Amino acid sequence: MSTTVSTPDPDQTCAYCGSRIFEHDPICVRDCDDSCGSPVFFCNYACLSAYVDENDLTAGDACEWSPEE
């Protein structure tokens, strides 16, 4: 899988709160289960975490463990 690395625009805003990402500690996320689409930028881990929680993105993923299996 090949991915191109590029620096976002200086005015790029956070996908969650709308703040400019470079005023904080930016994070880039790609959904590589869906053809590694366009990156989504968050200004920090708190916004990423809130986005994941509000969109229920962990439901059904590897967050469950059963010792019987």
Residue 23 has a pLDDT of: 93
Reported as a single tens digit per residue, the pLDDT across 10-66 is 999 999 999 999 999 899 987 766 566 778 999 999 999 999 999 888 776 665 667
Residue 50 is predicted with a pLDDT of: 95
Rounded distance, CA 4 to CA 60, Å?
29
Instruction: Output the pLDDT for position 43.
Output: 94
pLDDT at 33: 65
User: What local confidence, expressed as pLDDT, does residue 48 receive?
Assistant: 94
Q: Are 29 and 43 in contact (CB under 8 A)?
A: no
Q: Does position 1 have pLDDT exceeding 60, yes or no?
A: no
CA–CA distance, 40 with 35 (Å, rounded to integer)? 14
